[in-house]
Structure 1
Amino acid sequence: MKFVVLALCLTLATPALAQQAKVAFGGLSQDTSLPVNVEADTLSVNNGDGTAVFTGNVVVVQGEMRLTAAEVRVEYAPDGKAIARLHASGGVLIANAADAAEAREAVYTIDSGTVVLTGDVLLTQGPSTMAGQKLTLNLKDGTGVMEGRVSTTFVPGGN
């Protein structure tokens, strides 16, 4: 998927380094109302605070999006029926058919369709890469913003 023109302009203006860059994430207009399937080695549920913790080889799938991590803490909505937020940590990878993003942690807020990845973020889009400290993805419109001393590598003809 192509990076938004602003990202290219920022990259050309400063030799592959910028403070913030806008990106497109796989052209994915994720339907955040789709079911969320979670698989893991272990599940702990705390009815007192409305959370569940999945640990060990966690795989979360919603539509075409796939998230993997060592641990995912699920926060339920006040009604206790719907998932409100997922907190992933430990080797987080979010991918769809075209793009992938890695980070130390990620928080996915289901209703807003927002995923915030933090800590040594690496976005790969085909042969091109972008790195920074924080990537905020809007899955409803397939866009994102990378922040924190952004470094990009564009491959001519590969974007």
Structure 2
Amino acid sequence: MRAIRTCVVALALGMVSAPALHAAETGATEPLQLSADHGELDNAEGVSTYTGNVVVTRGSMRITGDELRVYRGDDGGVARIEVEGDPATYRDEASASGAVDAQAPRMTYHASAPERLHLEGGAQLQRGRDEFRGETLLYHIAGDRIEADRGDDGQRVEIKLYPENGDGGGGQ
């Protein structure tokens, strides 16, 4: 059974990392690399689904979760990646503002322009030392901009911003 799963994942990985699935619109030239315990590819629908310790990397970006779906766009490239986890995580060490770490029960990474990350269900994002919390967060990756919203339960957005010099001394 384990050999069958390994073959399914190896086949699915071969399909996902094909040149057609590179995110050309974002300027990224790195392939999308994926590993999981199980994978299924539906070429007719343009969707592949992966479960069990899923890890996706492309360049300095890394996404992890329990279940992940990759949707292809009309051009054959990756349109978006939906991931669920306890929590699902995102990390990118190449951000202009320092490393970005995010987590939420559900997230959607939009690979086509404008590249962005939508976090839902109680989200946290740390960019450098700054911290953002809300029911939903939208991180505009290319513009290095973050939007946070409270949930229906009235839980307010929490944001902690540090001075640019980082010593807590009140400014630049």
TM-score, L = length of structure 1:
0.70
Larger-Rg structure: 2
Q: Secondary structure at the match of 2:157?
A: strand
2:60 to 52, 58, 64: 64
1:100 aligns with 2:101: yes
TM-score, L = length of structure 2:
0.66
Instruction: Flag structure 2 segments of 5+ consecutive residues without an equivalent.
Output: 1-25, 94-98, 151-155
1:89 to 77, 81, 84: 84
Letter in 2 for 1:84: A
Aligned length: 129
Measure how far apart 1:43 and its partner are: 0.5
Q: Report the structure, 1 or 2, having the larger helix content.
A: 2
CA contact (8 A) 1:31 1:63 kept: no
Q: 1:32 to 1:47 in 2, by over 3 A?
A: same
1:83-111 deviation per Cα after TM superposition (whole angstroms, max 9, x unaligned): 11111111211112222111011111211
Q: Secondary structure at the match of 2:57?
A: strand
Greater relative contact order, per chain length (Cα 8 Å cut-off, separation 6+): 1
Query: Which residue pairs with 2:159 in the alignment?
Result: 152
The percent of aligned pairs where both chains have the same amino acid is 28
Distance in 1 of aligned mates of 2:41 and 2:92 = 29
Q: Report the structure, 1 or 2, having the larger strand content.
A: 1
Q: 1:61 to 1:158 in 2, by over 3 A?
A: farther
CA contact (8 A) 1:115 1:137 kept: yes
Distance in 2 of aligned mates of 1:125 and 1:158 = 16
Letter in 1 for 2:112: D
